[in-house]
Amino acid sequence: MTFFVGANGSGKSTLLEGIAAACKLPVAGSDSVELDPTLGPARALGKALRLAWSAHSVRGFFLRAEDFFGFTKRVARERAELRRLLDALPAQYEGRSPLALELASGPLRSSLADIQGRYGEDLDANSHGESFLKLFQARFVPGGLYLLDEPEAPLSPHAQMALMTMIHDMTLQGAQFIIATHSSILMAYPGATIYDFDSPPIRRVAYEDTEHFTVTRGFLNDYQRYVNRLLNER
């Protein structure tokens, strides 16, 4: 378990994207790393990286939180197209045996059942956070490599804890995670390696030494003083 932490613009997401390009991981979102026009710099960076593997996994994916809406739309389009094809089959097989129709519809029904089994009846019917967790439940597999960019974005604190338990289950089964995050909850994962991008060079830090931990702890210990200071300084 590795975390990249730092302020927006510090480079943590850029390096994560470069690693995804170098690994040629599939994207659980919209376009692939090779085709996404926003990932051109990441592809250039990926070519400059040299990766070392203890075990080269071909499983896993790369996910940016902002790509998730593209993913739900793609699943909805696939579901709608499968249903359209199913609805059109009776007319196409009119006059032929029921067995022929059944054989033709079998693969389409199987694909629909697979989508429903993975993601439920309709991802859009859930909250953003619930859909996000369903994606992880469906796509996490043992031994995979997962590069996640700010996965906490749509998640409540309780849901972030649920994601941590999913991640833990996978790490016990040989999965590896590299996560760029602002979540002081996620980065509390026991034994995680944390790299701070705020001041060059990138350096390894303890959880308690991250700005996320110290600011969050200070705020929660005396939130009224923090709020009063913020409002009175305006």
The CATH number that applies at residue 191 is 3.40.50
The maximal CA–CA distance of the chain, rounded, in angstroms, is: 80
Q: Render the burial of 159-198: b for 16+ CB within 10 Å, e for the rest.
A: bbebbbeebeebbeeebbbbbbbbbbbbbbbeebebbbbe
Average the pLDDT over 37-58 and give the result: 85
Percent over 90 (pLDDT), the chain: 46
Q: For all residues of the chain together, what is the average pLDDT?
A: 85
Q: Are residues 118 and 138 in the same domain?
A: no
C-alpha to C-alpha distance for 72 and 80, rounded to whole angstroms: 12
The amino acid at 5: V
**Side-chain-facing half-sphere of 181: CA atoms under 13 Å:** 28
Residue closest to 148 by CA, chosen among 71, 64, 34 = 64
Average the pLDDT over 135-142 and give the result: 87
Average the pLDDT over 51-69 and give the result: 81
Whether the per-residue pLDDT at 137 is higher than 50: the answer is yes
Q: Are residues 147 and 217 in the same domain?
A: yes
Q: Are residues 98 and 201 in the same domain?
A: no
Residue 147, beta-bridge partner list? 62, 178
Domain holding 9, by residue range, is 2-68+128-232
Choose one of 104, 123, 142: the last residue of a domain: 123
Q: Are residues 100 and 210 in the same domain?
A: no
Q: Are residues 59 and 108 in the same domain?
A: no
Choose one of 123, 145, 166: the last residue of a domain: 123
Whether the per-residue pLDDT at 43 is higher than 80: the answer is yes
pTM score, whole prediction: 0.75
Whether the per-residue pLDDT at 69 is higher than 70: the answer is no
Q: Are residues 26 and 83 in the same domain?
A: no
Write the CB contacts of 141 (distance below 8 Å, at least 6 apart in sequence): 59, 60, 170, 175
User: For position 80, what pLDDT does the model report?
Assistant: 76
- Domain count along the chain: 2
Handedness of CA 124, 125, 128, 131 (dihedral sign): negative
- What pLDDT digit, counting tens, does each position of 172-225 carry? 999 999 999 999 999 999 999 999 999 889 999 999 999 999 999 999 999 999
Write the CB contacts of 45 (distance below 8 Å, at least 6 apart in sequence): 14, 15, 17, 18, 21
